[in-house]
């Protein structure tokens, strides 16, 4: 049969119930844990005493963060920063971003394939699926040790870093353009790694097994070794981790049950050297690979008959594709950070080099389905590579005083290689359709930040960043190598300011107001097979925020913040007609405006040494505010931005008690709620609200810890995200993990 190129629009694909019932359940669990915690903690032995004592991360306390690129107490930051302690993530058994982000309401986790789940903060996002992200920069900045990991051009991946042996994860809400640069429109997420202990040899090993309701089984292992060197002047910390996530989606087309297994392998080595009190050097190498055997989505569409199109998720975790949709994603990072004390000043140099590689096979049989050609089968192979070198230099006072300041410079150079080959099956040696781009993106910036204590109670701060971005790439046409290169280029420059005031009423109560601006890269969209191209410019937004922090006692804390965000020149995917082929292609344009406003609350309560309770709630109203069209169809003002629930919340409680055999016992419960959301800005798909409950019981001795867990205990069928491939015939839905039971053993030495 002769090859047929479909004539429909072509889209490049990279990859419960009511709150009331869950409120009652959360209250019941909390009261039960609190009552259980009244039992005296074990004191008969070192192991029982240490294990029964609440960990510091569960207590309301003065948490130190580095969100402003200098050490500050979290309560002294004029802005909303959520810090999740790495030890807490380990105590809760977190394995990936799906677990981590449920602890930070206001952060939208839109599930996708391995390393392709999109994150947005405060509703700032227009896509919930990596395939629709196309060539635009994502709106949330991702940083590992202050090295940016958000692709400036041509989405490759979002690193889903294993939480084992992290120091903490910081979520910076609101645009962070002044200090962090492009992409942090809605905010930024920072991963901080545990550094070597130069005084003590220590280590940990961890192993676990899990079984999933209606799915398969999985396992996990992790190990850490810390070695002091050179008589306490240096140290080496090595971390290794591996896990297999069980599959739970049956592929009726390939005949594979529980096919969406994911194997993750990673590790890092961190070396610290302090030759003197005035100089320290830290070098990091990190690598992680994810290999997913089939897709993360479910759908009732049958490519063999064309039946089953539905805007609601199927009742079973099933999909039907002619071929498995595989992913092989790898990211590597190397950094060298040098800190030098120079006459009361601290000079910091941070050099980073990262690579990303993503090889993905998609079944395009559904995308290209045509009732006139029943039986046609298509596949798409996408090969994405990036290499990014970055350098940042900062200068700041060594010690905090009445005036604190920071100045710096940043430079980044990213090379991107993207090659997508589409085959009519059975495939020949040459693809039937091919899209290639080889590009380079650079960003250079100067930035400054200052904080002045005007009185004993009033502190003013201001920051400013001047940036210049440039994008150049070759669009390579033709299905054979080497093809014909067509060059394109664009550049932009501007400033992103930030100003704030913070007033301290007394040591327990303070308030702040803040205004800040964010931006992200502009670029160029190509249309079809010809030379037609549409440039799109940088989009930007202003965030206006006020907050209150109250710590009435060492046992209680409450943070409240309200915000409004005005977003203009929104970068949004739309359709444009290619005059050469007569087909529509996905492109990006600056279309219209949007707003987001809301309130965020976070609190902690520790009534006694054996019980702690923490909770957070976010109400976010993010919607278009006019002028937005998709494919020439107007989107009404007030249409919700996709993936954003108006209401999100989490409550985690931990009770400590005397366990058997001289152990210390710990029982933790996490209730997370995600409200109703719109899946896509131009689709009627609405995702129902859902809530999950995770339970974990742990017994600890001096070095040994044994845990059993029940995640998603009620087996809630929640849908984290969805995409409506309106150019084809099928939507796809991304379910949360079903009920998972398991055990884990940890040994520290």
Question: 571-622 pLDDT, tens per residue?
Answer: 887 666 777 766 667 778 787 899 999 999 999 999 999 999 999 999 999 9
Q: In Å, how far are 119, 173, 407, 729 from 181, measured between CA atoms?
A: 17, 14, 14, 39
pLDDT of amino acid 446: 97
Burial class (CB in 10 A: 0-12, 13-18, 19+), 37: buried
Separation between Cα atoms, residue 657 and residue 227, nearest integer Å: 34
Output the six-digit token pair for 529: 């097979």
* 577/13: higher pLDDT: 577
Picking from 232, 189, 225, 17, the residue whose alpha carbon sits closest to that of residue 103 is: 189
Query: Above 60 in pLDDT, residue 366?
Result: yes
Residue 55 predicted with pLDDT over 60: no
137 or 347, higher pLDDT:
347
pLDDT band, very low/low/confident/very high, at 53 (cuts 50, 70, 90): very low
More confident residue, 40 or 489: 489
Question: Highest mean pLDDT: which of 88-92, 109-113, 554-558, 697-701?
Answer: 697-701
Mean pLDDT across 107-132: 88
Averaged over 546-559, what is the pLDDT?
Answer: 94
- Identify any residues that bridge with 288 across adjacent strands, giving them in sequence order: 266, 331
DSSP letter for each residue of 406-459: EEEEEEEEEEEEEEEEEEESSP-SS-SEEEEEEEEEEEEEEEEEEEEE-SSSEE
Q: What is the pLDDT of residue 584?
A: 65
- Rounded distance, CA 227 to CA 232, Å? 10
The structure tokens listed for 176 are 């962070």
Which pLDDT belongs to residue 538?
87
For 271-318, write each residue's pLDDT tens digit.
999 999 999 999 999 999 999 999 999 999 888 888 888 889 999 999
CA distance 11 to 185: 25
Would you report the helix, strand and coil content of the chain in percent, each value rounded to 5?
A: 10, 55, 35
pLDDT at 63: 66
Structure tokens at 59: 């207590």
pLDDT tens-digit profile of 689-720? Answer: 999 999 999 999 999 999 999 999 999 999 99
Reported as a pLDDT band with limits 50, 70 and 90, residue 5 is low
Q: Which residue in 124, 65, 74, 182 sits closest to 543, CA to CA? A: 124
- Longest Cα–Cα distance of the chain, Å, equals 82
pLDDT of residue 374: 86
**Sequence ranges of the domains in the chain:** 69-195+216-748
* Ordered DSSP codes for 294-321: S-S-B----TTTS----SS--SSSEE--
Report, at the CATH architecture level, how domain 69-195+216-748 is classified.
Beta Barrel (2.40)
Q: Which residues contact 481 (CB under 8 A, 6 or more apart)?
A: none
> Would you state the pLDDT for residue 477?
81
Q: In whole angstroms, what is the distance from residue 441 CA to residue 443 CA? A: 7
257: Cβ contacts below 8 Å, ≥ 6 apart? 247, 250
- Supply the DSSP symbol for 194: P
For the residues 218-240, what does the mean pLDDT come to?
Answer: 96
Confidence (pLDDT) at 739: 98
The reported pLDDT for the residue numbered 97 is 92
Q: Would strands 628-630 and 664-674 be described as parallel, antiparallel, or unpaired?
A: unpaired
The share of the chain scoring above pLDDT 90, in percent, equals 65
> Which pLDDT does position 45 carry in this prediction?
35
CB atoms near residue 375 (< 10 Å)? 9
Of 178, 184, 189, 188, nearest to 467 by C-alpha is 178
pLDDT tens readout for residues 446-464: 999 999 999 999 999 999 9
| Bridge partners for 251 per DSSP | 256, 319
Which of 134, 325, 255, 299 lies closest to 719 in space, CA to CA?
Answer: 299
Q: Rg (Cα) of the chain, in Å, rounded?
A: 26
The answer to whether residue 441 scores a pLDDT higher than 90 is yes
**Could you tell me the pLDDT band of residue 530, with boundaries at 50, 70 and 90?**
low
For residue 479, what pLDDT is reported? Answer: 85
Is the pLDDT assigned to residue 43 strictly greater than 50?
Answer: no
- Of the candidates 257, 247, 290, 259, the one whose C-alpha atom is nearest the C-alpha of residue 96 is 290
Assign 3-class secondary structure to 684-702.
Answer: CCEECCEEEEEEEEEEECC
Find, among 547, 549, 521, the residue nearest to 536 by Cα. Answer: 521
Contact between 381 and 342 (Cβ < 8 Å): no
**The pLDDT value given to residue 730:** 77
Task: Give the Cβ contact number of residue 194 at 10 Å.
Answer: 18
Average pLDDT, the chain: 87
Q: How far apart are CA 193 and CA 167, in angstroms?
A: 5
Share of the chain above pLDDT 70, in %: 89
Best CA proximity match to 357, nearest among 156, 118, 158, 138 = 156
Q: Render pLDDT for 248-269 as a digit per residue (tens, 0 to 9).
A: 999 999 999 999 999 999 999 9
């Amino acid at each position: 049969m002769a090859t047929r190129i479909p004539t429909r629009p072509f889209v490049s694909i990279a990859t419960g119930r009511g709150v009331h019932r869950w409120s009652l359940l959360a209250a019941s669990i909390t009261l039960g844990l609190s009552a259980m915690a009244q039992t005296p903690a074990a004191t008969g032995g070192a192991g029982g005493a240490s294990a029964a004592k609440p960990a510091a991360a569960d207590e309301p306390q003065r948490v130190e963060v580095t969100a402003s690129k200098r050490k500050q107490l979290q309560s002294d930051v004029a802005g909303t920063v959520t810090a999740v302690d790495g030890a807490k993530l380990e105590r809760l058994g977190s394995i990936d971003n799906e677990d981590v982000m449920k602890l930070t309401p206001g952060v939208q986790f839109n599930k996708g394939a391995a390393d392709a789940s999109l994150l947005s903060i405060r509703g700032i996002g227009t896509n919930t699926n990596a395939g629709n992200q196309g060539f635009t920069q994502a709106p949330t900045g991702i940083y590992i040790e202050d090295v940016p990991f958000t692709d400036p051009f041509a989405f490759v991946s979002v690193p889903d870093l294993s939480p084992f042996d992290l120091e903490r994860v910081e979520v910076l809400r609101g645009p962070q353009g002044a200090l962090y640069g492009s992409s942090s429109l809605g905010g930024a997420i920072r991963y901080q790694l545990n550094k070597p202990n130069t005084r003590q040899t220590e280590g940990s090993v961890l192993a676990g097994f899990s079984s999933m309701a209606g799915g398969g089984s999985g396992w996990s292992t992790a190990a850490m070794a810390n070695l002091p060197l050179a008589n306490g002047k240096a140290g080496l910390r090595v971390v290794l981790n591996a896990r297999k996530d069980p599959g739970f989606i049956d592929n009726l087309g390939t005949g594979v049950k529980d096919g969406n297994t994911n194997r993750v392998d990673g590790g890092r080595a961190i070396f610290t050297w302090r030759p003197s009190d005035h100089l320290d050097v830290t070098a990091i190498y990190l690598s992680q690979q994810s290999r997913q055997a089939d897709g993360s989505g479910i759908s009732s569409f049958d490519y063999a008959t064309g039946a089953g199109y539905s805007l609601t998720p199927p009742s079973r975790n099933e999909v039907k594709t002619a071929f498995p949709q595989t992913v092989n994603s790898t990211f590597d990072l190397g950094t060298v950070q040098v800190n030098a004390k120079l006459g009361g000043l601290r000079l910091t140099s941070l050099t980073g080099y990262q690579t990303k590689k993503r090889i993905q096979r998609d079944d395009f049989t559904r995308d290209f389905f045509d009732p006139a050609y029943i039986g046609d089968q298509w596949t798409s192979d996408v090969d994405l590579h990036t290499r990014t070198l970055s350098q940042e230099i900062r200068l700041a006072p060594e010690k905090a005083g009445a005036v604190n300041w920071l100045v710096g410079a940043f430079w980044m150079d990213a090379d991107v290689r993207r090659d997508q080959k589409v085959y009519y099956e059975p495939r020949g040696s040459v693809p039937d359709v091919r899209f290639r781009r080889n590009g380079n993106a650079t960003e250079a910036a100067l930035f400054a930040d200052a904080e002045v204590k005007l009185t004993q109670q009033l502190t003013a701060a201001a920051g400013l960043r001047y940036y210049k971005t440039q994008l150049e790439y070759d669009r390579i046409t033709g299905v054979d190598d080497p093809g014909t290169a067509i060059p394109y280029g664009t550049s932009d420059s501007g400033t992103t300011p930030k100003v704030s005031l913070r007033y301290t009423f007394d040591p327990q109560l303070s308030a702040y107001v803040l205004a800040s601006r964010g931006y992200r890269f502009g670029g160029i969209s190509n249309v079809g097979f010809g030379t037609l191209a549409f440039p799109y410019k940088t989009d930007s937004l202003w965030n206006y925020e006020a907050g209150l922090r109250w710590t009435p006692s060492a046992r209680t804390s409450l943070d409240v913040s309200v915000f409004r965000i005005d977003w203009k020149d929104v970068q949004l995917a739309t359709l444009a007609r290619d005059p050469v082929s007569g087909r529509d292609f996905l492109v990006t344009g600056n279309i219209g405006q949007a707003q987001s406003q809301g309130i965020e609350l976070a609190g902690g309560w520790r009534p006694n040494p054996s019980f702690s309770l923490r909770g957070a709630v976010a109400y976010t109203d993010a919607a278009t505010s006019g002028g937005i069209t998709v494919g020439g169809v107007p989107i009404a003002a007030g249409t919700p931005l996709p993936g954003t629930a108006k209401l999100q919340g989490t409550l985690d409680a931990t009770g400590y008690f005397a366990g058997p055999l001289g152990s210390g016992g710990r029982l933790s419960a996490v209730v997370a709620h995600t409200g109703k959301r719109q899946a896509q800005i131009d689709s009627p798909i609405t995702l129902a609200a859902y809530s999950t409950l995770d339970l974990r019981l742990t017994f600890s001795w001096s070095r040994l810890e044994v845990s059993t867990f029940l995640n998603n205990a009620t087996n809630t069928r929640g849908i984290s995200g969805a995409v409506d491939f309106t150019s084809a015939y099928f939507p796809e839905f991304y379910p949360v993990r079903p009920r998972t039971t398991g055990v884990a053993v940890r040994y520290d030495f």
